[in-house]
């Protein structure tokens, strides 16, 4: 109820009380009261009632004012919290380009604090970074301005900037900055991946067709026929592997990548997996060494097949990207809470800008592409998901003098109580 309505109701109550008191006095004591006595008898309680009512009303009025102040303060705090915690960068500036306020996301994008930027001239702010120059572009109302730049590390940054007029009279504008680098990167990777996978399927299919045509030609050369049959088999295996990767990715993203957890000895599992790569390593004249730990059990709760896939992916990459007469080593160690599997090689070294993207879907380092064009960019992504599903972490370490080391950790097996 508003204050004006409350005040109106008070006056109505006072008026009714005045009429009732007068009526009662004249009815009970007609002509027996002097005017002075009547005024005293009537005025004193009436004045007391007015004082009490207005005191009460004043207290309520003061309370309402305090509550309004408190609500206004809380509203301002909420608005500030929203402004500060929103993931988009928000920058407010006047017509001359003076920064009036900005949130934490904008500080991160621009690489400068609000307190610092307020003390700098506009031209200096514009030249501070590529992005700070972009926010002062002459944009149309509501227009989405796409801006991309490279910080020199080879990594591309993509932003969207939107202008909203806050106050036409003062000429104050809000610039909304969105970091769309990740989504743009994924779009580029998907486009590149579709192209790569098309070639990867097309190449073995072409080889199969060529070999099949040769066999259908009724050639009497048995040796040539055998070579073509092997060629068909090898290319079919390549297609099966690619298809398997694609199915695994689909199951991972849909949450259907099933696991059958059991008590496993990782040392034995690594030993079994390493044996499967002995022919590949001998063919390339690579020393494949498993530094089997002496004594003790290296037990985990895990899926035998999935963890074997993770180890196999590491070994396959190590052998593939290590030159002839190189060396691949497998290490197994543990702490009080977890064990660590490492696969080290003396092959190519991953570029620093690529290291943090290695386990992303579709990603392949530029050096890896130059050496082996048939890579799918899915193996490490699958490893990461398998390991994380087991409660561990997958990672990479670079050694400029040695090569690359890929590792993953797993929690040690604990008996259920």
Give the helix ranges, DSSP H, for 162-265: 181-216, 222-253
In terms of average pLDDT, the best of 68-77, 267-276, 356-365 is: 267-276
Proportion of the chain above pLDDT 90, given as a percent: 13
pLDDT value at 245 more than 90? no
pLDDT value at 243 more than 80? no
pLDDT value at 178 more than 90? no
Confirm whether 61 is domain-assigned.
Answer: yes
Closest of 257, 298, 264 to residue 389, by C-alpha: 257
Confirm whether 347 is domain-assigned.
Answer: yes
Is 246 found in the same domain as 172? Answer: no
Residue 408 and residue 340 in contact, taking contact as beta carbons nearer than 8 Å: yes
- pLDDT band of 331, cuts 50, 70, 90: very high
Is 266 found in the same domain as 406? Answer: yes
Is 391 found in the same domain as 266? Answer: yes
pLDDT value at 343 more than 90? yes
Is 318 found in the same domain as 388? Answer: yes
Is 200 found in the same domain as 69? Answer: no
User: Tell me, what's the pLDDT at 68?
Assistant: 77
Q: Rounded to whole angstroms, how far apart are CA atoms 23 and 25?
A: 6
Confirm whether 19 is domain-assigned.
Answer: yes
Proportion of the chain above pLDDT 70, given as a percent: 71
- pLDDT band of 38, cuts 50, 70, 90: low
Is 394 found in the same domain as 267? Answer: yes
Q: Which residue has the higher pLDDT, 2 or 211?
A: 211
User: Tell me, what's the pLDDT at 400?
Assistant: 63
392 Cβ partners below 8 Å, 6+ apart?
A: 338, 408, 409, 410, 411
- pLDDT band of 406, cuts 50, 70, 90: very high
User: Tell me, what's the pLDDT at 341?
Assistant: 94
User: Tell me, what's the pLDDT at 267?
Assistant: 92
Pairing verdict, β 156-167 and 338-345: unpaired
Confirm whether 29 is domain-assigned.
Answer: yes
Confirm whether 416 is domain-assigned.
Answer: no
Domain count, the chain: 4
Confirm whether 188 is domain-assigned.
Answer: yes
User: Tell me, what's the pLDDT at 332?
Assistant: 93
- Average pLDDT across the chain, whole number: 77
Is 340 found in the same domain as 217? Answer: no
Angle subtended by helix axes 304-321 and 379-389, to nearest 10: 150
Is 233 found in the same domain as 191? Answer: yes
Query: Computed from CA positions of residues 208, 209, 214, 217, in that sequence, does the dihedral angle turn out positive or negative?
Result: positive
- Domain with residue 197: its CATH number is 1.10.287.130
Is 43 found in the same domain as 175? Answer: no
Among 159, 179, 199, the domain-final residue is 179
pLDDT value at 77 more than 80? no
Confirm whether 417 is domain-assigned.
Answer: no
Range of the domain at 190: 183-253
What is the pLDDT averaged over residues 395-401?
Answer: 77
Closest of 131, 225, 214 to residue 180, by C-alpha: 131
Closest of 390, 394, 396, 388 to residue 408, by C-alpha: 394
Among 33, 49, 84, the domain-final residue is 84
Among 84, 110, 134, the domain-final residue is 84
- Residue 330 has φ and ψ, to the nearest 5°, of -120, 130
Q: Which residue has the higher pLDDT, 207 or 406?
A: 406
What is the pLDDT averaged over residues 261-279?
Answer: 91
Is 401 found in the same domain as 267? Answer: yes
- pLDDT band of 155, cuts 50, 70, 90: low
Confirm whether 95 is domain-assigned.
Answer: yes
User: Tell me, what's the pLDDT at 34?
Assistant: 59
- pLDDT band of 334, cuts 50, 70, 90: confident
- pLDDT band of 315, cuts 50, 70, 90: very high
What is the pLDDT averaged over residues 284-299?
Answer: 87
Is 298 found in the same domain as 225? Answer: no
Is 107 found in the same domain as 66? Answer: no
What is the pLDDT averaged over residues 133-161?
Answer: 75
pLDDT value at 367 more than 70? no
- pLDDT band of 220, cuts 50, 70, 90: low
pLDDT value at 116 more than 80? no
The Cβ of residue 253 has, within 10 Å, a number of other Cβ atoms equal to 11
What is the pLDDT averaged over residues 235-244?
Answer: 74
- H helix and E strand count, the chain: 14, 12
Q: Which residue has the higher pLDDT, 198 or 337?
A: 337
- Domain with residue 104: its CATH number is 3.30.450.20
């Amino acid at each position: 109820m508003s204050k004006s309505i409350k005040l109106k109701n008070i006056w109505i109550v006072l008026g009714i009380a005045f009429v009732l008191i007068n009526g009662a006095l004249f009815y009970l004591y007609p002509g027996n009261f002097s005017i002075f006595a009547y005024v005293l008898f009537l005025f004193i309680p009436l004045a007391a009632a007015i004082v009490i009512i207005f005191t009460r009303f004043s207290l309520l009025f003061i309370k309402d004012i305090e509550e309004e102040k408190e609500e206004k303060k809380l509203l301002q705090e909420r608005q500030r919290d929203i402004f500060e915690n929103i993931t988009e960068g928000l920058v407010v500036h006047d017509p001359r380009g003076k920064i009036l306020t900005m949130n934490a996301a904008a500080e991160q994008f621009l690489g400068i604090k609000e307190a610092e930027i307020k003390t700098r001239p506009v031209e200096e702010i514009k030249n501070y970074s590529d992005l700070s120059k972009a926010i002062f572009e002459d944009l149309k109302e509501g227009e989405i301005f796409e801006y991309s730049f490279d910080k020199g590390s080879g990594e591309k940054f993509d932003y969207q900037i939107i202008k909203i007029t806050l106050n036409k009279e003062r000429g104050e504008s809000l610039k909304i900055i969105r970091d769309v680098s990740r989504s743009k990167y994924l779009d580029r990777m998907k486009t590149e991946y579709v192209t790569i996978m098309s070639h990867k399927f097309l190449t073995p299919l072409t080889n199969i067709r060529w070999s099949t045509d040769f066999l259908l030609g009724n050639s009497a050369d048995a040796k040539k026929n055998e070579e073509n049959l092997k060629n068909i088999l090898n290319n079919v295996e390549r297609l099966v592997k690619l298809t398997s990767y694609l199915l695994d990715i689909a199951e991972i993203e849909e949450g259907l990548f099933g696991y059958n957890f059991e008590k496993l000895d990782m040392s034995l599992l690594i030993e079994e997996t390493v044996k499967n790569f002995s022919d590949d390593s001998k063919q390339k004249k690579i020393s494949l060494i498993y530094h089997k730990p002496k004594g003790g059990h290296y037990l985990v709760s895990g899926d035998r097949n999935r963890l074997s896939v993770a180890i196999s992916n590491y070994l396959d990459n190590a052998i593939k990207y290590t030159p002839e007469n190189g060396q691949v080593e497998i290490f197994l160690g543990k702490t009080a809470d977890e064990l660590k599997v490492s696969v080290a090689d003396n092959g190519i070294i991953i570029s620093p800008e690529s290291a943090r993207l290695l386990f992303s879907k579709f990603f392949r380092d530029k050096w890896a592409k130059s050496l082996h064009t048939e890579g799918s960019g899915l193996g490490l992504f699958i490893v990461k998901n398998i390991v994380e599903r087991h409660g561990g972490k997958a990672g990479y370490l670079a050694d400029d003098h040695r090569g690359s080391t890929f590792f993953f950790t797993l929690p040690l097996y604990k008996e259920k109580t």
